[in-house]
A and B are shown apart, each in its own frame.
Chain A
Amino acid sequence: MSATLFQVRIGNTGTTISCAAEQTILSASIAAGLDYPYGCASGNCGACISQLESGQVAMLPRNDTSLSPAQAAAGQTLACRAQPRSDVAITWLGRGRR
């Protein structure tokens, strides 16, 4: 049985990638060669915090310190925890570079 694939548009790069329903947007992005910001990749640090512009995602468990309920209510998500449930548009919220 083939996996359900969704299209994920990354606003920062203008790239659209395929992401399986059981895959996180972060892992699909990295596999596609995108330098998506991340740190712990386990829902603890918040380095991959992103704005979900459109579409729906399911979230793997996370700590509230990495994404507060208020942030989630405002449409923010964690790419390392978010699995698509529809085609999605998402933008990472740059935490700055140096």
Chain B
Amino acid sequence: MPLDATDLSVEARRKAACKTLLRQVHAILGKEGVTPSALHAIKLKLVALGKRSEIFPPADFAMPEAEGRSHILEVEDNDGLGLYLTIGLPGKEAAPHDHGIWCVNAAISGQERHVLWRRTDDGSKPGHATIEKIGEVMVEPGNGFAMADHDIHSTEVVGDQPAIGLALYGYALARFPSVVWYHPAFASVRPLPSRRGPGAA
């Protein structure tokens, strides 16, 4: 008698679900490219996966020692996609930044506030940048968030529970381009070194 999905281990069902998601994402990107509508469609897929909390039991994922932690779910070779389970402890914040690559988030449990920012200077003065808030999204169960390559966001885990979610990036974290950090209080901007190696984009 053939196995059905309920006969598989949680780990096997999680693995299968994550691989299915990546196949769906590639289908979307192959058809549309990285467009706002494509990222929205990907977000809906990731939100649906995040609702399947039974395949992401907390016992399978160690809590962070340093307020935040990313567990690899699926990472493709070379310049492929990276899918992670992320955990942020209450109060964890990140200053405004852009990743240099698109990303999509969806919640499994807890709440993380994402504030969207827009750069308002012309970038002509090295080290200087001004940004303004343009919106806010609460990533919580049933909700998600999508960003294009150079969209700017800041994050804050709110409430008294860890924010556990899914994060899908256009490149795996180990091959991230330069993440750029903005500090509006000082009107400053600093890029971190790219992880993509010499001569990489």
Chain B residues within 8 Å of A46, by CB: 192
A38 and B182 CA atoms in complex are apart in Å by 9
Stretch at the interface among A2-10, A16-24, A58-66, A68-76: A58-66
Q: Please tell me if B189 contacts chain A, counting CB pairs below 8 Å.
A: yes
A60 and B92 CA atoms in complex are apart in Å by 14
Instruction: Output the least CB separation between B68 and chain A (Å).
Output: 5
In the complex, the answer to whether A95 meets B191 with C-beta atoms within 8 Å is yes
Chain A 70-98, CB-CB to B under 8 Å as 1, else 0, gives: 00000000000100000000000001111
In the complex, the answer to whether A95 meets B190 with C-beta atoms within 8 Å is yes
In the complex, the answer to whether A44 meets B191 with C-beta atoms within 8 Å is no
A61/B192 contact (C-beta < 8 A), A38-B181, A39-B95, A40-B94 known: no
Chain B residues within 8 Å of A37, by CB: 181, 190
Chain A residues within 8 Å of B183, by CB: 35, 38
Instruction: Output the least CB separation between A31 and chain B (Å).
Output: 11
Q: Which of B94, B123, B190 has the most CB of A within 10 A?
A: B190
Considering only CB atoms and an 8 Å cut-off, how many residues of chain A contact the other chain?
23
Which chain B residue shows the least CB distance to A60?
B66
Chain B residues within 8 Å of A39, by CB: 94-95, 97, 179, 181, 192
A57 and B95 CA atoms in complex are apart in Å by 24
A40/B127 contact (C-beta < 8 A), A46-B192, A47-B190, A96-B191 known: no
Chain A residues within 8 Å of B65, by CB: 61-63
In addition to A39-B192, A61-B65, 7 A-B residue pairs with Cβ atoms within 8 Å of each other are A38-B95, A41-B95, A42-B66, A63-B65, A95-B190, A97-B189, A98-B126
Chain A residues within 8 Å of B58, by CB: none
Chain B residues within 8 Å of A30, by CB: 185
- The A-contacting residues of B in range 86-110, CB under 8 angstroms, are 92-95, 97
Instruction: Output the least CB separation between A69 and chain B (Å).
Output: 15
B190 partner, pick from A44, A63, A96, beta carbons under 8 A: A96
